[in-house]
Amino acid sequence: MEQSFGGPLGIVIAGLGLGAFYAALIWVNTLLGLFLTPLFIMPLAWVQDALAARKAAQKQG
């Protein structure tokens, strides 16, 4: 015998499932942004510091 969750109960179950899916998606994207952003910003800051130090050394010497 085939069972399906049609009608109001199916709408509630689908809504809860989609809500959990989107909550998890937002959570994962927030964590990725929180942990991956420094991996790109820190090396760029090091490069900018090195370029600034080279430019300052050229002005002095």
Q: Classify residue 5 by its DSSP letter.
A: -
Is residue 32 one of the residues assigned to a domain?
yes
43 in a structural domain: yes
- CA distances in angstroms from 28 to 15, 22, 49, 55, 56, listed in the order given: 20, 10, 32, 41, 42
State the pTM of this model: 0.59
Cβ atoms of 42 and 34 closer than 8 Å: no
Torsional sign, CA 34, 35, 36, 41? positive
Residue 17 included in any domain? no
Per residue in 8-56, pLDDT tens?
A: 898 999 999 999 999 999 999 999 999 998 898 999 999 999 999 999 9
| Domains of the chain: total | 1
- 54 falls within a domain: yes
